[in-house]
Structure 1
Amino acid sequence: MIKKDKPDNVVFSSEHGYNASLLPYATSVGAPVIKADDLAGWKGMGLNKVKKEFESKFNELKMQYQDLIEEFQWNELVYNARFSFEPIVGEIYHLYKDADGFDFLSLIGPKEWNKEHIATFRLNSDKKWILIN
């Protein structure tokens, strides 16, 4: 049987001496119970919040991407249309479909003649066609 110099309820270490106040756990019967925090709830709330933030950002980027694709498609349509003039930046132009089914660009507004109007655009300084209606 091993003989101890100190009783079990005394915290003594030959390396650190009496260090009960420095330990991360209770060292006597009368000490308050130390129990680990349940972090599952906190983690769950944090995870849900981050998930919603990422989902919101993803949906925002998805909408921006769809707008970009739509803008590209309109520009491709206008640049592939027929026109026999050099468009001026800042001016408004109208895209029509002729009797043969080809698209053409014109300065003439849709109320001024009876052609199949597709859309109205303004040319910006980056040579990008901005859809007006």
Structure 2
Amino acid sequence: MPNKKPDNIVYSEQEGYNSSKLPYATNIGAPVIKVDDVVAWKSRGIHNVNKEFENKFNELKSEYQKLIEEFKWNELVYNARFSFEPVMGEIYHLYLDTDGKEFLSLISPEEWNKEFIGSFKLNSDKKWVLLEKKGLDFY
């Protein structure tokens, strides 16, 4: 068996000594080849990304709910009765009249005994900003 090479030598008839070209370790002193645990990495990544998406979704949902509430309050005030042109920056108070219709007034709730709904200020965008409301979430 003169052509037999020892086990620790990498030799093939076609390639010759090719240990530097092989994708795996060829001797005992070579570093251990360990397969990375990509499943754990992927699951951590998925968990982190899903958590971020959930946080962003909840943030957008909260903003949407605030926008809907602002829209409803503005619709209520704009549909209320008033016989004056509101001035930007002034505080106005919304009341419920005896006939069940809402009306807007400059008179504060402390000055008379009407059913108070809320206080508003008209901003530069012509949007009514809620300052104070009766203890209800939405009238």
Q: Which sits farther off after the overlay, 35-44 or 103-112?
A: 35-44
Going from structure 1 to structure 2, the CA distance change for 1:12 and 1:84 (only over 3 Å counts) comes to farther
Instruction: Give yes or no for contact 1:98–1:104 (8 Å, CA) kept in 2.
Output: yes
- How high is the TM-score relative to the length of structure 1? 0.84
Aligned residue for 2:59, secondary structure, equals helix
Cα distance in 1 between the residues matched to 2:4 and 2:83 = 104
- Percent pairwise identity: 68
- Asked if 1:99 is matched to 2:98, the reply is yes
State the Cα RMSD in Å.
2.3
Q: Structure 1, residues 38-93: CA drift from partner, whole Å, max 9, x if none?
A: 11112111111111111111101000000000000000000000000000001100
CA contact (8 A) 2:10 2:18 kept: no
- Does structure 2 conserve the Cα–Cα contact (< 8 Å) formed by 1:96 and 1:118? yes
- Please state how far the C-alpha of 1:27 moved relative to its aligned partner: 3.1
Residue equivalent to 2:114: 115
Rate the CA distance shift 1:41–1:25 in 2: closer, same or farther, 3 A. Answer: same
Change in 2 beyond 3 A, CA 1:10/1:123 = same
Matches within 5 A, 1:1-133: 7=5, 9-11=9-11, 18-28=17-27, 31-133=30-132
Task: Give the Cα separation in 1 of the matches to 2:106 and 2:11.
Answer: 94
